[in-house]
Amino acid sequence: MTSMETAFIVHGIELTLVRKDVRHVRISIHPPDGRVRVSAPRHLTDAAIRRMLAPKLPWICRKQAEVLHRDQQPRLELVTGEHHFHFGQRYRLLVIENAGRPGVSLVGDTMELRVPPAASVEKRAAVLERWYRAQLSENVRRLLGEWERRLGVVASEVRIRRMRTRWGSCNTRARRIWVNLELAKRPHACLEYVLVHELVHLLEPSHGRRFWSLMDEFMPQWRQHRDALRSSSGPTTLADGDA
């Protein structure tokens, strides 16, 4: 689906306007700098969009402040005592330095991170990330088989990557789905929602009425999962930017 991006300024706030096949104007605010993106139906004039955005400005400013504040929080250093998440569960990190094979194990409410002695923060992060990828990939595989059957679609592949602004995306022509690595830290239902959302795009590429009625049919509680994603930190847009 083609879309056209233009820069737009409303009362001093710069935003990216994307005209595409959507029914409603939608505003999203993105980390790390609070960039504002507005998607709008193709037929709306600039003046009409400005009129609609004006009353939303206080909300936009508030959200921008939240995003900026959030990204100023100190980065985790991967040291013992920090809290880390695995599918919505919180664990206390225990860094174990030894000569054995690097890796991660969950023991009770402890996340044991085994690394070589004096491993740098980058090295520790790499071990943890590899584990998150493997965990996510295993869960994707399990969900994928089940949902492909239910929806009667087949994705050519599902790949994992870090994404700053999206939880997932779907290239409908290549039938390839991407999911955000961060989903390994969120409740399992969030991963399921994003995956089902992207698979439903193989039936209906747009976010038109048919798309949402398919979501209602196959995952009646999808709004609840979407709200869980919205209330967590991370991308402020869902799935591919319009959900």
What residues make contact with Zn ion under the rule CB under 5 A? 239-240
Shortest distance in whole angstroms from residue 205 CB to Zn ion: 9
State which residue has the least CB distance to Zn ion.
Answer: 240
Closer to Zn ion by Cβ: residue 139 or 169? 169
Closer to Zn ion by Cβ: residue 49 or 239? 239
Query: DSSP character for 169?
Result: E
Closer to Zn ion by Cβ: residue 93 or 199? 199
Closer to Zn ion by Cβ: residue 102 or 235? 235
Shortest distance in whole angstroms from residue 241 CB to Zn ion: 7
Return the structure tokens found at 55: 């009353």
Task: State residue 104 phi and psi, 5-degree precision.
Answer: -135, 140
Closer to Zn ion by Cβ: residue 93 or 195? 195
To which residue do tokens 């690394």 refer?
A: 115
Shortest distance in whole angstroms from residue 82 CB to Zn ion: 34
Shortest distance in whole angstroms from residue 135 CB to Zn ion: 24
Closer to Zn ion by Cβ: residue 119 or 239? 239
Shortest distance in whole angstroms from residue 238 CB to Zn ion: 8
Cα–chain center distance at 98? 34
8 A C-beta contact, residue 200 and residue 211: yes
Cα–chain center distance at 198? 12
Shortest distance in whole angstroms from residue 216 CB to Zn ion: 14
Backbone conformation region of residue 5, classed left if phi is above 0, alpha if psi is from -120 to 50, else beta: beta
Shortest distance in whole angstroms from residue 206 CB to Zn ion: 9
List strand residue ranges (DSSP E) for the chain, in order: 4-10, 13-20, 26-30, 35-41, 83-86, 89-97, 103-107, 110-115, 157-161, 168-171, 176-180
d(CA 147, CA 200): 10
Closer to Zn ion by Cβ: residue 78 or 239? 239
Return the structure tokens found at 5: 């991006």
- Picking from 152, 130, 148, the residue whose alpha carbon sits closest to that of residue 140 is 148
Q: Count Cβ atoms below 10 Å from residue 115 Cβ, excluding itself.
A: 22
